[in-house]
Structure 1
């Protein structure tokens, strides 16, 4: 096996800059601007984000998909009984990280986390493809199973059970979470590793804007 020289892997970032005079005063509007640019750049799954939670003072991370954002926070959907759901119940704080490599950008979000309303969960659940709705019933997310055959058998069973239903009910154990940010950092790659880092910190009802050293 050939040895891979990871130390030689490097890029010089030079596409854009992020200066204080060009940053929008509201971090949600700044995020919206960058997200639209990520969409325009046709980045693969621009709504993919790393979600970090805590259990027993240890961090746990995985990639999930952003499904909505506004000035109330950033939302995603999952199984409440999954590992991440149990970790959130234990410690209701989380961080999100977006990495849009083609644009040499990152966004880091930290804050508290709460479940969205049942109405919001219902609306999103019923907007999903029928197969995904049934899949939410199939999977006991994060639990050990003996093999894929168990999933396929349960899928067939539930497809038969729901075949006469136009509307599949949302499982009580499945729904949305919202991360309510306290800090949002926008990171723009720059030459010589002197990256632009603009931090928004919530202070009362306002946002304080500061530059961080790279």
Structure 2
């Protein structure tokens, strides 16, 4: 992701607010330029089309996910400790206010356009492959017992999203506070680890 000037950052923040409020189709470049307090000439200099600006906004959302892809499973290290670290890293991302705002934009545009949905879905699948790889690596060291890594990743990621993300994103609720996040990590990881242990 390129480094943006202060002017470009102002434009992107204005675009995010406009897209979140009006959606892609109803947002205008004129509205964005006014919200960013820049001329339309300056706006088009940095972002030649509204679609190009939207693509940059989506790229920012994708970039917010990439730190999660750097977390690797460490063989012969406590599984529950690693799982809690993975869970907390994911929850810190899912509960970030900027990430939630960008997510709402993507959700709206995915519902509006199948073509847009297919494009966005592919980009997110590529990012979430790292979560599956973590569980595959855990499975290779017999940490999952008879549970498949595909099921484990889906169950784990799905539980975190259901309990901390979807209501916040769709119903415009405030992100969970630190105490609630810590409690959620403990409960999800305990249920997961107990289930794996009993399945072995």
> What TM-score results when the alignment is normalised by the length of structure 2?
0.26
Higher helix proportion (structure 1 or 2): 2
Quick check: which one's strand share is greater?
Answer: 1
Structure with the bigger RCO (C-alpha within 8 Å, sep 6+) is: 1
